[in-house]
Amino acid sequence: MNMSKEKLIKSIRQVPDFPIPGILFYDVTTLFKDAECLRILSDTMYDMYKDKGITKVVGIESRGFIMGPVLATRLNAGFVTIRKPGKLPAETIEQSYDKEYGKDTVQIHKDAINENDVILLHDDLLATGGTMKAACELVKKMKPKKVYVNFIIELKELNGMSLFGDDVEVESILSV
């Protein structure tokens, strides 16, 4: 592992028993408040996707809204939000999915993506993968040319990467 990735991993705050007992929460907000970590994240993600022809970065509510616009700006791409129901003001399409404790739904504006777009879906963390899988299915309904998926950090033991098919390139900057 290079020095930059080591710095990122060391900078992530680990919060035991959050949001419920038995869960070790990886708090990436500590990366965002450190200027050097923010630069490393921005540079690393830019290098990963600069030659992929990305036209839109899609951020997942809410921590995907932090690095998503930074990356979109660097890639000269637009930025689109995927949100929980009732948050987007214009006509939406949605995708529901199962969570450990019930159902949830994500929505995107109906006119946010078209068949000429190359999409980079971004969120902060891959755990079980349910939210991003639903977001990916939602984006695919809009028939873009290609979909890439990116996370800052992947929790390897939860095997979330296995949810995605071969048609989607999924990468994380860090794995723990």
Catalytic residue among 13, 36, 63, 91: 63
* Residue 64 falls in which region: left (phi positive, over 0), alpha (psi -120 to 50) or beta: alpha
Comparing C-alpha atoms, which of 12, 17, 28, 24 is closest to residue 125?
A: 28
Catalytic residue among 91, 100, 115, 157: 100
100 in active site: yes
Amino acid in position 134: A
- Alpha helix stretches (DSSP H) within the chain: 3-11, 29-32, 35-49, 64-74, 130-140
Active-site positions?
Answer: 63, 100
